[in-house]
Structure 1
Amino acid sequence: MTIGIWILGNQLHSEQAALLSRKNNKQETPVIFIESLNYVRKRPYHQQKLVLVFSAMRHFAEELSSEGWSVTYKISENFEQALNSWIRANQITELRLVTPYDRPFLTFIQSLNLDSNIKLIPNNHFLWSHQEFKQWTDSRKRLLLEDFYREGRKRFNILMEGDQPIGGQWNFDKQNRKPPKKSLTPPTPLGFEPDQITQQVINDLKSSQIPTYGQIEPFKWGINRSQALQVLECFIENNLDNFGAYQDAMVTGEYTMWHSLISPYINLGLLTPLEVIESIEKAYHEFDYPLNSVEGLIRQILGWREYMYGIYQLMDDDYSQKNWFNHQEKLPEFYWDSSQTDMNCLKQSLRQVEETGYGHHIQRLMVLGNFALIVGVSPQAVNDWFHSAFIDAYDWVMVPNVIGMGQFADGGILASKPYAASANYINKMSDYCKSCVYKRTQRTGDKACPFNFFYWDFLSRHQQQLKGLGRMNLILANLKKMDSEELKAIQSQAQHWRESQ
């Protein structure tokens, strides 16, 4: 019997489960990497994401080869053709791979007609297995991210003093919402010049006929584990001190602020979640970084990331199709081309996504997601765009975040209220409104900010559904106080805007 291993593009770690299962038999174990052209034609992926994934795959293949593994790297029209050719050439009887994190890709693999048996190895890239997460949910009367996060802190003994959290409280989020000041000078993010392998990927993509999105150059992302570790170290040394306080702030021309930029590397497997968490905790004890910064970053990985994956695995297959508000509007064209909007907050956020494939969580949730929600865009269209546009996007992370959190399309499984807001929030957390042609204080008229009339239109359209959510009562009470003529003008302006798009 010959055992072969297929390594997927987001499983690029030498300690991943399939490789571990044959660690003592490297030379007798064929390993394959495949770039499938048909697969990347499924949606117009950001060019920098394709460069990152393909270059990281090619670098990891070389790394494994240098360690003694028998590695084949194929660029093929489709997975099935490349796999069967390799299986026959190596007389493989059992094909092992780590269970895909994305459910649609797992279904796809199970549909392949291969000349070998497939053995799926449970993934070890998350701290909670599917079975462990389900056991936790089965023991709960309610599902709350905060409860799960606290359980994770205890289970892995992170930022704990005995059975109590360091600092006397679990969550310092209230200290992590400082609006930007005029004098803010965020550090320059660490970037890397493309090496020969990466430049070849860039050249290949430039000459391909694959439909894509965004700019391909300048490409500054790390493409191997060594560079990913450098990014983590740079974040700890230069960013962690101010990360917490300003993690929600948005500033014109400042694309990354104090954010870590490590999500693409964790999602590819170049970094593991536990090593990142332990590095942050170690830095806290050694250098006395602010606890709100340290706890805030750890909560994103130990809490949010693990919870999203757990919910994704737990939900029914139709979760991605949920549409609680029955929103049917098309995604505005300017999401694909930032030059087509004159709303400064959207233009700034979309332009940086076009240039880098990146936007931080508040830009995603409270600018891009918020606007699509209050306009009434189909949540599936929003999800498709997010999956195409972001360098760290995968089905497992985008479905719960866009469908559940950003668009509230699941009716409250993930969030207790919709993340909907007017221009007031954006003005508080950014400097975008100061340079905008629209007036953040106006709800109607030619200069009224669309965030304002769409926000109140959204509340009006869905007030019957929203009144069942306790946290919406105060806002709905303000809606009832609004002058009926003004509300009609708001609704008319919102509808006219939709029709004009």
Structure 2
Amino acid sequence: MTPAHWLFGDQLGPHFLTPGDDGPDRDAAVLLVEARSVFRRRRFHRAKAHLVLSAMRHRAAELGDRAHYIRADTYREGLRAAADDGLTDDGVTVHHPTSHAALRFVRSLDGVDVLAPRGFLVPRPDFDAWADGLGGKRLRQEDFYRWVRRGHDLLMDGGDPAGGRWNHDHDNRETPPKKARTLGAPAPYRPREDAIDEEVRNDLDRWERDGEVTFVGRDGPRRFPASRREALAALRRFVEHRLGGFGAYEDAMLTADPVMSHSLLSSSLNLGLLHPAECVEAAEDAWRAGDAPINSVEGFVRQIAGWREYVWHLYWYFGDAYRDSNTLGHHAPLPDWFLDLDADAVTARCLATTLAQVRDTGWTHHIPRLMLLGSHALQQGWDPRAVTDWFHRCFVDGYDWVMLPNVVGMSQYADGGRMTTKPYTSGGAYVHRMSDLCSGCAYRPTDRTGERACPFTAGYWAFLHRHRRRLAGNNRMSQAVRGLDRLGDLDALLRQARERGDSPP
């Protein structure tokens, strides 16, 4: 008896079909179910819908006769179609899905055996044991990262961190080069579309015409890998040509250079096209060969072996109720201009530029996400659950497990500090220091009130005032809170904030 093996749309790499004690049979038929209902539940970014469907169909084409690609209205309908064809007579196996809802669903099905998760470095029981062993202490990402480095012998020289330090953050916070329009990095890998992409785009066009689904954002040409071959090419391109310049400017922003030296590999990792081990090992090999500096390599390794693993495990460790965290009591709805990615409605150059990048590509790097989009949402008091959903829908690398901890915990501080030690928000001075986005803006980063008041500067002080009592007891925020007492224009600032309401900044 050989159960068929079901691949979700984010389980598309070869490691999801590798036989083993907790893996599918080598000869198992492979099921891929394209459920249209997924795109009716949320108003996804059009480029994201295209990428996911293109990746699924490319995987089916790679597997040839072994794959059974079923297009259906729902997953249940697709599985019934597979049963009608006799494909599931001997049962079905599926690797642990990546969301609470999907896990509940597969566990509710008869004849489906849920196997252990794949696509991550640390098994869930190992993380749980590590976290439980802390005895209630804060689950600090830095401690977890060092534990992973030791356990997987990543960037280690014996028992010591390679290069003499665990963390090279100090070297990776450079401001952008003065008067430079771009960083001058070699171009990232870009795929070429094929007949499968054309088929997907035609299907999406038809669904929209028929009123079955609606999307947000723009689509085409496809910018991110949709196959294993493309993902490996993107990884090689990054390691050989872009990794060396990654570290120093990983927190910087330039208007004309949205990708800087970032890897653009997050969507490939989150589709399962790449395994994190092959990414971090390739980066370490580059350092040991003298082809990339330690600060760049360590920064990249920390993003994957540290932060990505940490977020995955916190998603499960905190449980599904974590999504309802709202310690700050933020309940304001997201305004239409933000929901529609209407960058043209926004005056603030930094926010308009970032929103346009999301509209046009479904992607920005981590600093615009955290310190522009997320920071503005936090300052405005938008509902963290709605903000999480927006990031999930609008980013090509966005999945529930990715965005729930990143947005609820880090970006919106809605968990009250379970994940981070302080809210991540700032005034316009930070944006001005780390980018060229303030140049030519209608607002001034130094102005708190008046026609040229920077919405981030005013928003920062209004946020501190609103949560003064809570934040005064935070040793990383207390000094900033005390600064409220030195503002002679605080009343005017708060009055102006009320008058602006949720108008585009």
TM-score band, normalised by shorter chain:
over 0.9
Matched, 1:234 2:237: yes
Does the CA contact (< 8 Å) of 2:2 and 2:25 recur in 1? Answer: no
Provide the C-alpha distance between the structure 2 equivalents of 1:322 and 1:17, rounded to a whole number of angstroms.
36
Distance apart, 1:18 and its partner CA = 7.3
Distance apart, 1:500 and its partner CA = 4.3
Distance apart, 1:143 and its partner CA = 1.2
Matched, 1:375 2:372: no
Q: Which residue of 1 is the match for residue 195 of structure 2?
A: 196
SS of 1:318 mapped into structure 2: helix
Matched, 1:108 2:113: no
- More deviation, 42-51/265-274: 42-51
Quick one: which of 130, 133, 146 aligns to 1:136? Answer: 130
The one-letter code sitting in structure 2 at the alignment partner of 1:316 is: G
1:341-490 → structure 2 map (5 Å cutoff):
341-483=346-488, 486-490=489-493
Q: Which residue of 2 is the match for residue 215 of structure 1?
A: 218
Distance apart, 1:22 and its partner CA = 6.6
Residue 173 to residue 22, structure 1, CA distance change in 2 (3 Å): closer
Matched, 1:320 2:323: yes
Q: Which residue of 2 is the match for residue 157 of structure 1?
A: 153
Does the CA contact (< 8 Å) of 1:366 and 1:421 recur in 2? Answer: yes
Does the CA contact (< 8 Å) of 2:15 and 2:119 recur in 1? Answer: no
Q: Which residue of 2 is the match for residue 37 of structure 1?
A: 36
Does the CA contact (< 8 Å) of 2:335 and 2:502 recur in 1? Answer: no
Does the CA contact (< 8 Å) of 2:19 and 2:25 recur in 1? Answer: no
Q: Which residue of 1 is the match for residue 15 of structure 2?
A: 15
SS of 1:306 mapped into structure 2: helix
TM-score by length of 1: 0.95
Does the CA contact (< 8 Å) of 2:17 and 2:24 recur in 1? Answer: no
Distance apart, 1:25 and its partner CA = 4.2
Residue 92 to residue 407, structure 1, CA distance change in 2 (3 Å): same
Distance apart, 1:75 and its partner CA = 1.3
Does the CA contact (< 8 Å) of 1:186 and 1:254 recur in 2? Answer: no
- More deviation, 196-205/422-431: 196-205
Residue 133 to residue 431, structure 1, CA distance change in 2 (3 Å): same
Matched, 1:205 2:199: no
1:167-206 → structure 2 map (5 Å cutoff):
167-181=163-177, 182-183=179-180, 184-206=183-205
Does the CA contact (< 8 Å) of 2:95 and 2:116 recur in 1? Answer: yes
SS of 2:32 mapped into structure 1: strand
SS of 1:248 mapped into structure 2: coil
Q: Which residue of 2 is the match for residue 225 of structure 1?
A: 228
Q: Deviations over 1:311-364 (max 9, x none)?
A: 111013210011111011121323221111111101111111111111000010
Does the CA contact (< 8 Å) of 2:18 and 2:26 recur in 1? Answer: no
Provide the C-alpha distance between the structure 2 equivalents of 1:131 and 1:161, rounded to a whole number of angstroms.
27
Provide the C-alpha distance between the structure 1 equivalents of 2:25 and 2:393, rounded to a whole number of angstroms.
39
Provide the C-alpha distance between the structure 1 equivalents of 2:188 and 2:23, rounded to a whole number of angstroms.
38
Does the CA contact (< 8 Å) of 1:250 and 1:431 recur in 2? Answer: yes
Does the CA contact (< 8 Å) of 1:17 and 1:124 recur in 2? Answer: no
Distance apart, 1:440 and its partner CA = 1.2
Q: Deviations over 1:389-424 (max 9, x none)?
A: 100000001000000000000000110000010000
Q: Deviations over 1:169-192 (max 9, x none)?
A: 100011111111123323322212
Provide the C-alpha distance between the structure 2 equivalents of 1:283 and 1:298, rounded to a whole number of angstroms.
12
Provide the C-alpha distance between the structure 2 equivalents of 1:278 and 1:22, rounded to a whole number of angstroms.
23
Provide the C-alpha distance between the structure 2 equivalents of 1:285 and 1:74, rounded to a whole number of angstroms.
46
Does the CA contact (< 8 Å) of 1:18 and 1:96 recur in 2? Answer: no
Provide the C-alpha distance between the structure 1 equivalents of 2:337 and 2:396, rounded to a whole number of angstroms.
19
Provide the C-alpha distance between the structure 2 equivalents of 1:356 and 1:58, rounded to a whole number of angstroms.
21
The one-letter code sitting in structure 1 at the alignment partner of 2:398 is: A
The one-letter code sitting in structure 2 at the alignment partner of 1:15 is: H
Q: Deviations over 1:16-74 (max 9, x none)?
A: 16765676541xx33211111111111111111111111111111122226xx2x2111
TM-score by length of 2: 0.94
Q: Which residue of 2 is the match for residue 83 of structure 1?
A: 79
Does the CA contact (< 8 Å) of 2:96 and 2:118 recur in 1? Answer: no
SS of 1:74 mapped into structure 2: strand
1:228-377 → structure 2 map (5 Å cutoff):
228-335=231-338, 336=340, 337-377=342-382
Q: Which residue of 2 is the match for residue 5 of structure 1?
A: 5
Does the CA contact (< 8 Å) of 1:2 and 1:92 recur in 2? Answer: no
SS of 1:120 mapped into structure 2: strand
Residue 17 to residue 194, structure 1, CA distance change in 2 (3 Å): closer
Q: Deviations over 1:94-134 (max 9, x none)?
A: 1110110111221233345xxx4110000121111111101
The one-letter code sitting in structure 1 at the alignment partner of 2:174 is: K
Does the CA contact (< 8 Å) of 2:244 and 2:291 recur in 1? Answer: no
SS of 2:167 mapped into structure 1: coil
Provide the C-alpha distance between the structure 1 equivalents of 2:158 and 2:503, rounded to a whole number of angstroms.
60
Q: Deviations over 1:1-29 (max 9, x none)?
A: 45111110000122216765676541xx3
Structure 2 residues without counterparts, runs of 5 or longer: none
SS of 1:32 mapped into structure 2: strand
Give the aligned CA root-mean-square deviation in angstroms: 1.5
Does the CA contact (< 8 Å) of 2:106 and 2:114 recur in 1? Answer: no
SS of 2:113 mapped into structure 1: strand
Provide the C-alpha distance between the structure 2 equivalents of 1:407 and 1:23, rounded to a whole number of angstroms.
40
Provide the C-alpha distance between the structure 1 equivalents of 2:24 and 2:392, rounded to a whole number of angstroms.
34
Provide the C-alpha distance between the structure 2 equivalents of 1:124 and 1:33, rounded to a whole number of angstroms.
17
Residue 281 to residue 492, structure 1, CA distance change in 2 (3 Å): same
SS of 1:435 mapped into structure 2: coil
Q: Deviations over 1:410-469 (max 9, x none)?
A: 000110000010000011111010121111110001110111111101000101111121
SS of 1:151 mapped into structure 2: helix
Structure 1 residues without counterparts, runs of 5 or longer: none
Matched, 1:121 2:120: no
SS of 1:386 mapped into structure 2: helix
The one-letter code sitting in structure 1 at the alignment partner of 2:311 is: M
The one-letter code sitting in structure 2 at the alignment partner of 1:79 is: Y
- More deviation, 39-48/185-194: 185-194
Q: Which 4+ runs in 1 deviate beyond 4 A?
A: 17-25
Residue 23 to residue 316, structure 1, CA distance change in 2 (3 Å): closer
Does the CA contact (< 8 Å) of 1:252 and 1:432 recur in 2? Answer: yes
The one-letter code sitting in structure 2 at the alignment partner of 1:201 is: V
